[in-house]
Amino acid sequence: MNWLPPNGALHGLAIDHLLRWNLTVLFWLFVAAQALLVAALVRRWVSRGEGHAVQHRSGAAFFFADLLPLAAITALYIWMMFASHKLWAASRESVESPQAVQVEVTGEQFEWYFRYPGADGVFGATRADLINAPQGNPLGLDPADAHAADDIVSAILVLPAGRPVDVTLRSIDVIHGFAIPGMRLKQDAIPGMTGHLQFTPAVPGEYPILCTQVCGLGHARMQARLRVVAPADYERWIAARESALRAEAAR
């Protein structure tokens, strides 16, 4: 289990715990089943004498050899499902927190863009025909919309530790897979749809962001960085980006 990258998310501990006991139980089931196969081989090598006529199995033998283990395995599967459903429900069926940091993540070949709503707390409108990355408008922000003026667009995702985050997920071209292994997080960004994802980064540090849905020749390069910082540092970073935006607008 040390294969997993270090976990930095609030929900990640429970996920790792679930994954760990799942894999442990199933690994020993695997070992037991393979041991039975080997035993069948060894038994054949050992008993070289003429076999005796074996009675055809009675109902009771069938019960003990087949149905009892089957019932046990079924109970295990159901237990797994219950344990896991709690985590799934907590992560996907929860109502978003009013304190949540709002971030919009947009995938396009082969970049991730992160947009913060700015001081007004509202994402400005975007229009597909305004998308023009070389001219600095990769998301197609509409200058006619007042809410768009203070939107911060970043190539790095900076988030405060300990605050819930509400991610809005979009793609402007093909399906991309938004994945942060360190946050135990993955969801597809599907063009034409807006996805939502909630999580709480807990441990400050840097976490790679990957694309996990094959999206073109640059798929393996489509990576970005999540930087989880202390809340004060986050406020400072946002303020710096806002003043840079104002300075640019004044020019």
Per CB under 8 A, contacts with other proteins among 174-193 are 174-175, 177, 179, 181, 184-188, 190-193
Contacts of 11 (CB under 8 A, 6+ apart): 87, 90, 91, 184, 199, 200
8 Å CB contact between 229 and 199: no
- Contact yes or no for 209/157 (Cβ under 8 A): yes
Contact flag: residue 210 with other proteins (CB under 8 A): yes
Q: Shortest gap between Cβ of 194 and other proteins (angstroms)?
A: 9
The answer to whether residue 3 forms part of the interface with other proteins (CB under 8 A) is yes
- Under the binding rule (CB under 8 A), the answer on residue 196 touching other proteins is yes
Of 218, 231, 239, 243, which one interacts with other proteins (CB under 8 A)?
218
Write the DSSP symbol of residue 135.
G
Site membership for other proteins, residue 217 (CB under 8 A): yes
- Spatial CA neighbour of 209 closest among 220, 223, 197: 223
Q: Which stretch binds other proteins (CB under 8 A): 96-104, 114-122, 170-178, 231-239?
A: 170-178
Nearer to other proteins, 10 or 172 (CB): 172
Long-range contacts of range 206-210, CB-CB < 8 Å, 24 or more positions apart? 207/8, 207/180, 207/181, 207/182, 207/183, 208/180, 208/181, 208/182, 209/112, 209/157, 209/178, 209/179, 209/180, 210/177, 210/179, 210/180, 210/181
Pick the binder of other proteins from 102, 125, 140, 204 (CB under 8 A).
140
Question: Which residue in the set 60, 95, 128, 249 belongs to the binding site for other proteins (CB under 8 A)?
Answer: 128
Minimum distance from residue 243 beta carbon to other proteins (Å): 27
The two structure tokens encoding residue 204: 């400050």
Stretch that binds other proteins, among 19-27, 97-105, 113-121, 145-153 (CB under 8 A): 19-27
Determine the interface stretch with other proteins among 84-92, 116-124, 145-153, 231-239 (rule: CB under 8 A): 84-92
- Regarding 50 and contact with other proteins (CB under 8 A), the answer is yes
